Amino acid sequence: MGYNHRGIEKACEEKTYIQGLYLIERVCGICSHAHSTCFVQAVEEIAGLEVPRRAKYIRTIIGEMERVNSHLLWLGVAGHEIGFDTLLMYTWRDREIVMDLLALVTGNRVNYGINTIGGVRRDIEPEQIKAIVKGMDKLEERTKYYIDLARKESTMLERLSNVGKLSKEDAIRLSTVGPTGRASGVDRDTRRDDPYAAYDEIKFNVITDDHCDVYGRTLVRLKELMESYNIVRQGLKQLPEGPITVKAPRKIPAGEALGRYEAPRGEDVHYVKSNGTEMPDRVKIRAPTLANVQAVAHMLEDGYLADLPIVIAAIDPCFSCTDRMIQLKNPLTRTKKTVAWEDLRLKGIEWYAKKGVDFSRLNRKLENCLG
Amino acid sequence: MAIIKKIINWGRIKSPWVLHFNTGACNACDIEIIASLTPRYDLERFGVLLKGTPRHADILLCSGPVTKQVECRLLRIYEQMAEPKFVIAVGSCASSGGVFGCCYNVEGGIDTVIPVSIYIPGCPVNPQALIDGLVKLLASLEGPSPCMKDSKARDDLPIGKP
């Protein structure tokens, strides 16, 4: 709808790469590390930089902790949408553990600002490693409780089963990504299929589920939490010694690259085109919600209106990532136009008039009543 | 009458109901607002309740820079709130436009559209900072000079703007 559209892609073109990085981080306040890493990877590929292994591991660890944060947050929101507010309060309380750890390691609860072109800005100290391992153990115990809850609690079972059905064929046809696709049995995960950061040296399972409904999406996210704890632990164990950053040139050579990153919501894609100056020529962001949101219309078919909030929430939508402005270009007359609210309103009236529904008399009555 | 005014003021301080409105934020401030309502920070101990409609709210928590599309909605929501009303600009973007100041679809901070009582900076705001800001606002209500901006006269607000 454009309420949240700020025009970040365009603004990036007027900023240097480092400035743009901080702007890109603020595309979304939940998967901020996902966006910045994705952008940085694309820029590093153009510049031909070899990122130190320690930096790759730190990126992986922060990325997984962000996934823990995001999935716990989602579980709470889903609980709220089905009227199970106790779950919201429980999960958000536990989420504070990982928020504290993120603040400890990066210095900020959200928008970590840890990435820079050619590495990371902060190192992980031995005391922090101890704190993270301790936090992960605690969270693992809590997550086991939530998985148990999701399997036994009748509120969740009955409210989530057979809601928002999406078959495997439809999931592939509508190009769903991330947990939404994996819950329909689509075995795709960028971390395994196209490893970035340190994922090629870490063992983990890709969680899929064949429930094909909101319940399946809940289970996938909960089990992914358990995998995330393992990845963080492995990363901390294997954390290599060495520098955390390499010197990056101010001017990035001309070229183009595509960054891929498995964000908590699905695959995030950044396209960067450089022209040899300090500023990028074009930055294109395809956030996971944009890929998933088309499937929602299909999920809602033959459903109840009361299921609408949870079905929309089940793809874990992030509208600040997704919100776009549409400009219509007429190739014949070479004119551009945007669709304003008034145009949409008129189009709505026309559409209903074609179907034989006319609200004009009712409107006039209302206007008379209101004076 | 003075005693009635005092009782009303006491009631206002003890139950500041808030409406949260995202004017184009990146979600980070919104999440922190919700986080400050959950058990760790628990804003509810100050009587804060999150409300779904501006007509029930005393305080408008605005997060994010004002985008062009959201501007008239923000005005409409502000108009629907009952007097006296307070506006809190949550986050750097809401205070001044922040990193999004240069974006083509962004007007600037909340104060470019409606009067703001309290600015809470931070990207995103820390829940502690949010609590501090809110408590400062409530404390000012007890004193002689409450943190209240005169809401503009009805005619001055460009309500008719599409």
User: Which helix (H) or strand (E) element contains residue A355?
Assistant: none
Distance CA A106, CA B46 (A): 31
Other CB atoms within a 10 A radius of the CB of residue A352 amount to 12
On the question of pLDDT at B156 being above 70, the answer is no
A56 lies in the same domain as A155: yes
Question: In terms of CA atoms, which chain A residue is nearest residue B124?
Answer: A110
Residue B136 lies in a domain: yes
* 8 Å CB contact between A135 and A98: yes
Transcribe A198-258 into DSSP letters.
TGGGS--PPP--S--SHHHHHHHHHHHHHHHHHHHHHHHHH---S-SB----SSPPSEEEE
For residue B130, the enclosing domain spans 9-145
Question: In terms of CA atoms, which chain B residue is nearest residue A89?
Answer: B38
Are the Cβ atoms of A11 and B103 closer than 8 angstroms?
yes
Confidence (pLDDT) at B149:
61
Residue B161 lies in a domain: no
For an interface test with A, the pick among B26, B38, B93, B106 (most A C-beta atoms closer than 10 Å) comes out as B26
Residue A65 lies in a domain: yes
Asked if B153 reaches chain A (Cβ–Cβ under 8 Å), the answer is: no
Asked if A96 reaches chain B (Cβ–Cβ under 8 Å), the answer is: yes
CATH no. for residue A174? 1.10.645.10
Confidence (pLDDT) at A101:
94
- For residue B99, the chain A residues in CB contact (below 8 A) are 22-23, 26
Q: What is the dihedral of CA B82, B86, B92, B95, to 10 degrees?
A: 90
List all residues of chain B from 77 to 136 with a beta carbon under 8 Å from chain A: 99-100, 102-106, 123-124, 126
- For residue A73, the chain B residues in CB contact (below 8 A) are 31
Residue B155 lies in a domain: no
Express each pLDDT in A208-260 by its tens digit. Answer: 999 899 999 999 999 999 999 999 999 999 999 999 999 988 899 999 999 99
* 8 Å CB contact between B121 and A22: no
3-state secondary structure (DSSP) of residue B148: coil
How far is Cα of residue A84 from the mean position of the Cα atoms in its chain?
A: 24
CA–CA min distance B104, chain A (Å): 6
Distance CA B89, CA B66 (A): 11
Confidence (pLDDT) at B162:
41
Q: Which two tokens stand for residue A153?
A: 């609690």
Q: What is the dihedral of CA B139, B89, A317, A321, to 10 degrees?
A: -150
* 8 Å CB contact between A31 and A263: yes
* 8 Å CB contact between A66 and A31: yes
For an interface test with A, the pick among B21, B22, B31 (most A C-beta atoms closer than 10 Å) comes out as B31
Express each pLDDT in A29-66 by its tens digit. Answer: 888 999 999 999 999 999 999 999 999 999 999 999 99
A167 lies in the same domain as A222: yes
Residue B67 lies in a domain: yes
Q: What is the mean pLDDT of residues B45-66?
A: 91
For an interface test with A, the pick among B34, B105, B130 (most A C-beta atoms closer than 10 Å) comes out as B105
On the question of pLDDT at A152 being above 80, the answer is yes
Distance CA A200, CA A291 (A): 25
Distance CA A334, CA A337 (A): 10
- For residue A13, the chain B residues in CB contact (below 8 A) are none
Are the Cβ atoms of B162 and A342 closer than 8 angstroms?
yes
Q: What is the mean pLDDT of residues B121-132?
A: 91
Confidence (pLDDT) at B111:
87
Are the Cβ atoms of A8 and B100 closer than 8 angstroms?
yes
Distance CA B84, CA A370 (A): 26
Q: What is the ipTM of this complex?
A: 0.86
Identify the residue whose tokens are 């929501």.
Answer: B77
A331 lies in the same domain as A313: no
Express each pLDDT in A85-118 by its tens digit. Answer: 999 999 999 999 999 999 999 998 988 989 999 9
Distance CA A72, CA A218 (A): 11
Identify the residue whose tokens are 């559409």.
Answer: A351
User: What values do phi and psi take at B18, rounded to 5?
Assistant: -115, 150
Are the Cβ atoms of A3 and B27 closer than 8 angstroms?
no
Asked if A343 reaches chain B (Cβ–Cβ under 8 Å), the answer is: no
Residues of chain A above pLDDT 70, percent: 98
Closest to A257 in 3D by CA, of A47, A45, A37: A45
Question: In terms of CA atoms, which chain B residue is nearest residue A96?
Answer: B40
List all residues of chain A from 265 to 324 with a beta carbon under 8 Å from chain B: 318, 320
Express each pLDDT in A296-323 by its tens digit. Answer: 989 998 888 889 999 999 988 888 888 7
Q: How many structural domains does chain B have?
A: 1
- Burial code (b: 16+ CB inside 10 Å, e: under 16) for B114-129 equals bebbbbbbbbbbbbeb
CATH no. for residue B122? 3.40.50.12280
Residues of chain B above pLDDT 70, percent: 89
Residue B101 lies in a domain: yes
Look at the alpha carbons of A166, A2, A73, B61 in this order and tell me if their dihedral is positive or negative.
negative
On the question of pLDDT at B82 being above 90, the answer is no
- For residue A30, the chain B residues in CB contact (below 8 A) are 27-28, 31
Closest to A77 in 3D by CA, of A62, A63, A90: A90
* Band (B105; pLDDT cuts 50, 70, 90): confident
- For residue A93, the chain B residues in CB contact (below 8 A) are 38-40
Looking at the DSSP assignment, which residues form a beta bridge with residue B86?
Answer: B59
CA–CA min distance B23, chain A (Å): 7
Weakest mean pLDDT among A329-338, B14-23, B77-86, B116-125: A329-338
* 8 Å CB contact between B117 and B88: yes
Confidence (pLDDT) at A320:
81
Confidence (pLDDT) at A205:
92
Asked if A3 reaches chain B (Cβ–Cβ under 8 Å), the answer is: yes
Mean pLDDT of chain B: 85
Q: How many structural domains does chain A have?
A: 2
A240 lies in the same domain as A352: no
A364 lies in the same domain as A318: no
On the question of pLDDT at B153 being above 70, the answer is no
On the question of pLDDT at A130 being above 90, the answer is yes
Confidence (pLDDT) at A183:
93
* 8 Å CB contact between A189 and A231: no
For residue A224, the enclosing domain spans 8-322
Looking at the DSSP assignment, which residues form a beta bridge with residue B119?
Answer: B89
List all residues of chain B from 53 to 82 with a beta carbon under 8 Å from chain A: 64-65, 67, 69-70, 73
* 8 Å CB contact between A184 and A207: no
Residue B16 lies in a domain: yes
For chain A, count helices (H), then strands (E): 16, 7
List all residues of chain A from 56 to 85 with a beta carbon under 8 Å from chain B: 73, 76
Distance CA B66, CA B60 (A): 14
Distance CA A4, CA A321 (A): 9
Q: What is the mean pLDDT of residues A332-343?
A: 74
Q: What is the mean pLDDT of residues A349-362?
A: 82
Query: How many Cα atoms occupy the beta-carbon half-sphere of B93 within 13 Å?
Result: 31
Express each pLDDT in A213-227 by its tens digit. Answer: 999 999 999 999 999
Residue A3 lies in a domain: no
Are the Cβ atoms of A29 and B31 closer than 8 angstroms?
yes
Closest to A197 in 3D by CA, of A119, A290, A128, A271: A119
Q: Is A190 left (phi over 0), alpha (psi -120 to 50) or beta?
A: alpha
Are the Cβ atoms of A6 and B100 closer than 8 angstroms?
yes
Q: What is the mean pLDDT of residues A66-78?
A: 94
Look at the alpha carbons of B1, B3, B5, B8 in this order and tell me if their dihedral is positive or negative.
negative
Interface A:B, Cβ pairs < 8 A = 103
On the question of pLDDT at B154 being above 50, the answer is no
Confidence (pLDDT) at B161:
44
* Band (B160; pLDDT cuts 50, 70, 90): very low
Residue B21 lies in a domain: yes
Asked if A93 reaches chain B (Cβ–Cβ under 8 Å), the answer is: yes
User: Which helix (H) or strand (E) element contains residue B59?
Assistant: strand B59-63
* 8 Å CB contact between A270 and A284: yes
Residue A1 lies in a domain: no
A293 lies in the same domain as A358: no
Confidence (pLDDT) at A347:
85
Distance CA A269, CA A24 (A): 12
Q: What is the mean pLDDT of residues A136-150?
A: 94
A47 lies in the same domain as A120: yes
A197 lies in the same domain as A341: no
Confidence (pLDDT) at B151:
53
3-state secondary structure (DSSP) of residue A320: helix
